[in-house]
């Protein structure tokens, strides 16, 4: 069986460095990583990564085919995901094979989700990343139209993820990363509202709860932690993008609140 996990992602914390705040962040993430490394895995990390990779693209193909046909836009969306993940030629071939298998009439969605849930036992953050990948492709493919939205609810349910969490994931993925720092002319109230959605909290939350929400999201998407838990190298880019989005959202809220 071909493996997709290998070298450990390096330099992520350096990329995140924000002066004294970055040092504190590094301590926090290091603590989370140390805790996760001690947890027993149901399968070796390489096997988890291989299962995760293949099931991701099989389910992606099944969702694209859910309305009876796969449109050019949905094919382009799947290709875009492969490109954004910086897959090499061999990985792209396997991803396409899996995507095609997911389109087949006899594809067993429930069976694949059971396999994924068992492979990621004790690793709920991996399941959240998996669902994010499906939502990401669905938004780009047909804006979650037709049966896709209902199927995603079914996928989330099987993975133990609530509709509320799914709604938060969709809201966060519809917000372009970088919108908090590189578009100063955008409506400030809208940016702030989007930032709260990225952290899965609200403006009504107190400062302590905001920090907890930030740490929870950062822990969930921290690339090194996910890597240690079995996320394949090919999916790390997605986790890095989401981590940076979370940091940018928190910085905006922190500045607005004077934290």
Domain ranges of the chain: 43-257
Assign 147 to helix, strand or coil. Answer: coil
Give per-residue pLDDT as tens, 187-198.
778 888 888 888
How far apart CA 233 and CA 4 sit, in angstroms, is: 6
Q: Which residues of 164-193 are buried (b: 16+ CB within 10 A; e: fewer)?
A: eebebbbbbbebebebbeeeeeeeeeebbe
Percent of the chain with pLDDT over 90: 34
CB-based contacts of 239: which residues, under 8 Å, 6+ apart? 129, 221, 222, 223, 226, 231
Lowest mean pLDDT among 20-29, 76-85, 117-126, 187-196: 20-29
Q: What is the pLDDT of residues 103-158, one digit of tens each?
A: 999 999 999 999 999 988 888 888 988 998 899 899 999 999 889 999 999 999 99
Mean pLDDT score, 76-88 = 86
C-beta separation of 48 from 41 below 8 A: yes
CA nearest neighbour of 102 among 137, 143, 139: 137
């Amino acid at each position: 069986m071909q493996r997709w996990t290998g070298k450990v992602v390096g330099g992520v914390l350096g990329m995140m460095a924000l002066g004294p705040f970055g040092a504190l962040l590094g301590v926090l993430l290091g603590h989370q990583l140390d805790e996760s490394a001690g947890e027993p895995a149901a399968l070796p990390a390489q096997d988890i990564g291989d299962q995760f990779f293949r099931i991701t693209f099989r389910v992606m193909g099944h969702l694209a085919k859910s309305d009876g046909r796969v449109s050019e836009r949905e094919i382009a969306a799947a290709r875009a995901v492969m490109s954004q993940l910086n897959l090499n030629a061999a990985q792209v071939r396997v991803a396409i094979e899996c995507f095609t298998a997911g389109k087949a009439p006899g594809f067993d969605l429930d069976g694949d989700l059971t396999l994924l849930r068992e492979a990621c036992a004790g690793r709920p953050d991996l399941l959240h990343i998996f669902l994010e990948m499906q939502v990401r492709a669905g938004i780009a493919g047909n804006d979650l139209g037709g049966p896709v939205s209902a199927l995603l609810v079914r996928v989330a349910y099987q993975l133990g993820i609530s509709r509320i969490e799914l709604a938060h994931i969709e809201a966060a993925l519809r917000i372009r990363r970088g919108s908090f720092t590189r578009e100063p002319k955008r409506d400030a109230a809208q940016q702030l509202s989007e930032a709260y959605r990225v952290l899965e909290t609200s403006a009504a939350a107190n400062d302590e709860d905001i920090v907890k929400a930030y740490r929870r999201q950062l822990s969930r998407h921290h690339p090194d932690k996910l890597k240690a838990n079995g996320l394949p190298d090919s999916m790390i880019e997605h986790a890095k993008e989401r981590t940076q989005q979370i940091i940018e959202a928190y910085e905006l809220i922190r500045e607005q609140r004077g934290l």
